[in-house]
Amino acid sequence: MVKVLCAALALLFVLAHPAAAQLSFKPTAESVHEDQLLNALKEGDKITGRISIPDAMAASLIQPAGRDWRDFHRGKLPIIGGIAIIGMFALLTIFLMVRGRVRIRDGFSGRKILRFASFERFTHWLTASCFIVLALSGLNISFGRILILPLFGPEAFATMSAYAKLAHDYLAFPFMLGLVIMLVIWIKDNIPGKLDLQWLKQGGGILFKGQHPPARRFNAGQKGIFWIVIIGGALMSVSGWFLLFPYLPGNVTALQVWTVIHAVIAMLFIAVMLAHIYIGTIGMEGAFDAMGTGEVDLNWAREHHSLWVQEEQAKGHAPSGTAPRAMPAE
């Protein structure tokens, strides 16, 4: 009975004092709106508070620059990545259609020369396999919501993304190890020289059908890939290290800058690696053997690395003499 009476009095109070009721139910009606607040903040401004936990970054309550960062990741980055990756696919397809597969001019000789030792191939595949998982799991962050979520649904996508994130975090370490080993074992053969200019002027003998320019163990194209992998990999490693340990950059703004560097370099890196994979597989006859078995055909080696073959022959590491022309298969 008392409760009913209290409720009736409260209702009477509300009806008799509409202004009081408005204040009671909409306490923020007269306050500053969030949009007004955020628009009033200038670039670099932050709203910070006092915190009682030992995490200084948690004191940043509102950082308007974060909106630009979010817009970049949701808007510009997928466009940059899409253009780079789809553009590279398109370019390679057109190149294959116009130029065709780069064949061995004199055909397979049937005689082999050791191109890469086991440890070199191990290092290559260690880095490459990690890179493929890192690339796919990274692309999932930018394109997964658009491409994969509608196909598999939210639960499967969430589970897959969680495992992909774990793989991305931890396979980064063997990837970085592979980069360091590659730098140590291949840098001596990848120092740019005058011979590389000649190779570039002739399009590597690949862009235009004709005589292949002379090259030592690595030609200018391969040297370019090497330095892109080393420099791009170093940038990915440093920026990725800051993402793995987000307290290292010191503040949220620096962390956001590193994520942008990581994402943009990643998209370009993936596009360049597509070209590397293309020329190492379907783009050039006989090229995959170098990283497959480690041994390449002598005619292939003579065409693409003539000076290196001479050096290996002088050391007694390669069959000497003129290779016989290949006979067509029966």
Which residue type is seen at 240?
G
Residue 116 C-beta: closest distance to another protein, Å? 9
Residue 36 C-beta: closest distance to another protein, Å? 28
Residues 125-164 within binding reach of another protein (CB under 8 A) = 125-126, 129-130
Stretch that binds another protein, among 18-26, 51-59, 140-148, 233-241 (CB under 8 A): 51-59
Residue 146 C-beta: closest distance to another protein, Å? 25
Residue 130 C-beta: closest distance to another protein, Å? 5
Burial 51-67 (b: 16+ CB within 10 A, else e): eeeeeeeeebeebbbee
Stretch that binds another protein, among 30-38, 171-179, 208-216, 320-328 (CB under 8 A): 171-179
For position 165 contacting another protein by CB under 8 A, the verdict is no
Comparison of 28 and 52: residue with beta carbon closer to another protein: 52
Residues 186-225 within binding reach of another protein (CB under 8 A) = none
Stretch that binds another protein, among 15-23, 80-88, 121-129, 235-243 (CB under 8 A): 121-129
Binding residue for another protein, selected from 100, 110, 174, 192, defined by CB under 8 A: 174
Residue 123 C-beta: closest distance to another protein, Å? 8
Binding residue for another protein, selected from 171, 243, 260, 326, defined by CB under 8 A: 171
For position 180 contacting another protein by CB under 8 A, the verdict is no
Binding residue for another protein, selected from 152, 163, 173, 208, defined by CB under 8 A: 173
Residue 166 C-beta: closest distance to another protein, Å? 8
Residue 111 C-beta: closest distance to another protein, Å? 22
* Sign for the pseudo-dihedral over CA of 170, 171, 175, 180: positive
The binding track of 239-278 with respect to another protein, each residue x by CB under 8 A or -, is ----------------------------------------
For position 122 contacting another protein by CB under 8 A, the verdict is yes
For position 53 contacting another protein by CB under 8 A, the verdict is yes
Which residue type is seen at 298?
L
Residue 162 C-beta: closest distance to another protein, Å? 10
Residues 282-301 within binding reach of another protein (CB under 8 A) = 294
CA gap 234, 112 in Å, rounded: 35
**The two structure tokens encoding residue 40:** 């009033």
Binding residue for another protein, selected from 2, 25, 43, 52, defined by CB under 8 A: 52
- What is the SS3 string spanning the chain? CHHHHHHHHHHHHHHHCHHHHHHHHCCCCCCCCHHHHHHHCCCCCCEECCCCCCCHHHHEEECCHHHHHHHHHHHHHHHHHHHHHHHHHHHHHHHHHHHCCECCCCCCCCCEEECCCHHHHHHHHHHHHHHHHHHHHHHHHHHHHHHCHHHHHHHHHHHHHHHHHHHHHHHHHHHHHHHHHHHHHHHHHCCCCHHHHHHHHCHHHCCCCCCCCCCCCCCHHHHHHHHHHHHHHHHHHHHHHHHHCCCCCCCHHHHHHHHHHHHHHHHHHHHHHHHHHHHHCCCECCCCHHHHCCEEEHHHHHHHCHHHHHHHHHHCCCCCCCCCCCCCCC
Q: Which residues bind another protein (CB under 8 A)?
A: 52-55, 58, 118, 121-126, 129-130, 166-167, 169-171, 173-174, 177, 294
